[in-house]
């Protein structure tokens, strides 16, 4: 099998494709990085895997070799043509479904449900374009159709923010940590692992034990998080009082013993869940 960079060059040349900056296209060309992604995905025969951004099929091929049933979503119609040619047999046998669409506009989870997929019984494996990282992760976690595991290659700084501790939390970090038992930066990938080379380092994020916090509605949790982070420089209590009943927020602060001066990034994830539970049961 030719090196990944040679393989990439072959397909791009054949279809006269220049990587698009607008689409954030940086193709993986490092065998070692690819092996780490596949290992993190823990893919085994019979697994159902959603791949966001099929590219030229480097990751797709490895997932299929592991015996997975794959749905790959590729926005670029030029790359979708490559995928159709490269995996014609797998497509005809039903092991691979290629969807040429923007994942952020794709009916989700309806598209997977129409194929007989169920929440908690599939994995997400993807090399995500940097500019869709947050909305893509939010979409996966907010639709009451959770995967069992996710292995995502994204910008290193974003992985570090997602896995941050109280004091450095972002709204995305609170959402991810609230919905996962384990959030891990598995490995860092330098720009040389991709073509064209991005200007920043990438990293592999692994999310395990994905489930909603008991007794919490995900939509309400997201509403609380968004309200709390609406103005990061303001105190959390004031931000929440801009959205929820002021007396209710006062009662929450009393029940949970929260500091009057605490800000959104300082609250730990269990406290966010506690706030949401109280708001949820209030008539």
The model's pLDDT over 265-278, given as tens digits with 9 standing for 90+, comes to: 999 999 999 999 99
Specify the domain boundaries for CATH 1.10.8.100 within the chain. Answer: 218-281
Q: Please report the pLDDT score of residue 148 as a whole number.
A: 98
In order of 49, 127, 164, 166, 231, the CA distances from 147 in angstroms are 9, 16, 22, 26, 31
How does pLDDT run across 107-124, given as a tens digit for each residue?
999 999 999 999 999 999
The CATH class for the domain spanning 218-281 reads mainly alpha
Contact criterion met (CB below 8 Å) for 8 and 58: yes
Q: Please report the pLDDT score of residue 232 as a whole number.
A: 84
Please state the pTM of the whole predicted model: 0.95
The torsion angles phi and psi of 43, rounded to 5 degrees, stand at: -75, 135
Q: Please report the pLDDT score of residue 280 as a whole number.
A: 77
Distance of alpha carbon 198 from alpha carbon 157, whole angstroms: 13
Average pLDDT over residues 55-71: 97
Q: Please report the pLDDT score of residue 145 as a whole number.
A: 98
In order of 171, 197, 212, 215, the CA distances from 252 in angstroms are 20, 48, 21, 17
Superfamily of the domain at 4-208:
Vaccinia Virus protein VP39 (3.40.50.150)
User: Cα–chain-centroid distance for residue 281?
Assistant: 30
Average pLDDT over residues 21-37: 95
Average pLDDT over residues 164-171: 95
Specify the domain boundaries for CATH 3.40.50.150 within the chain. Answer: 4-208
Q: Please report the pLDDT score of residue 171 as a whole number.
A: 96
Average pLDDT over residues 94-119: 97
Tokens found for residue 80: 């979708």
Residue 144 has pLDDT above 80, yes or no: yes
> Which is nearest to 40 in space by CA: 103, 126, 165?
126
Average pLDDT over residues 61-73: 98
């Amino acid at each position: 099998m030719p090196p990944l960079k040679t393989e990439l060059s072959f397909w791009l040349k054949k279809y006269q494709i220049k990587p698009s900056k607008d689409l954030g296209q940086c193709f993986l060309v490092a065998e070692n990085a690819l092996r780490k992604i596949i290992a993190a995905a823990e893919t085994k025969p019979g697994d159902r895997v959603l791949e966001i951004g099929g590219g030229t099929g480097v990751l797709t091929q490895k997932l299929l070799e592991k015996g997975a049933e794959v749905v790959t979503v590729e926005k670029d119609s030029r790359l979708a043509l490559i995928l159709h040619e490269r995996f014609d047999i797998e497509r005809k046998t039903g092991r691979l479904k290629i969807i040429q669409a923007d994942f952020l506009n794709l009916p989700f989870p309806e598209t997977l449900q129409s194929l007989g997929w169920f929440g908690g019984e599939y994995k997400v494996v993807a090399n995500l374009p940097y500019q869709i990282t947050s909305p893509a992760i939010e979409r996966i976690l907010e639709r009451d159709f959770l995967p069992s595991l996710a292995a995502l290659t994204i910008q290193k700084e974003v992985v570090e923010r997602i896995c941050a501790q109280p004091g450095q939390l972002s709204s995305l970090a609170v959402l991810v940590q609230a919905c996962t038992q384990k959030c891990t930066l598995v490995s860092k990938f330098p720009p040389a692992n991709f073509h064209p080379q991005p200007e920043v380092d990438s990293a592999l994020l692994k999310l395990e034990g994905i489930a909603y916090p008991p007794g919490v509605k995900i939509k309400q949790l997201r509403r609380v998080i968004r309200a709390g982070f609406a103005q990061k420089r303001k105190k959390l209590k004031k931000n929440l009082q801009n959205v929820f009943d002021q007396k209710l927020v006062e009662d929450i602060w009393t029940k949970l013993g929260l500091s009057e001066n605490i800000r959104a990034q300082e609250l730990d994830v269990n406290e966010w869940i506690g706030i949401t539970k109280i708001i949820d049961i209030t008539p």
